[in-house]
Homo-oligomer: A and B are copies of this chain.
């Protein structure tokens, strides 16, 4: 196992599954958070994830420069990136070109020595959103998932806390 993509819906148990996979790798696991605690709702979720993980993780924030964070943390335990959908949202808010950044990410992934477990969300299985911005976001999220899945060694789709093997 080198690169694993874990996808699924909201609260489907993706992060917990990803944590289990990262812990199963040798070395001290590294948690790479793309979330920034910008509001109370997000802060509460971050705190909850942290309390579940425990204190033995190396923690790092990478709201934008994910490829760089992977490169700098390579050589030790597995890295858990949680999550790509939030990273995409951060990139769009910062005015970055998500497609170029995704190319940097997949290139970085192909150079990693230590395992990387990436969590992402499926956001395209509901009714077409009314507003164009939401449509643009879900299109980008779908394409991002495809590109990362292409370079991943394994892809899992998590339903009700249980992984289904996709690749």
Residues of A in contact with B (beta carbons under 8 Å apart): 5, 7-13, 41, 120, 122-129, 132, 134-135, 137-143, 145-146, 148-150, 155, 157, 159-162, 164, 166-167
Contact = CB atoms under 8 A, between A and B. Distances in A.
A149 to B, nearest CB: 4
Given A155-B160, A159-B155, A9 B146 contact: no
- Can you list the 9 inter-chain pairs with the closest CB atoms, starting with the nearest? A126-B126, A11-B142, A9-B124, A10-B124, A149-B160, A146-B161, A125-B125, A9-B125, A145-B160
Instruction: Report the copy number of this chain in the oligomer.
Output: 3
Contacts of A149: 159-162
Contacts of A124: 9-12, 125-126
A164 B124 CA distance: 17
Contacts of A141: 11
Nearest to A165: B164
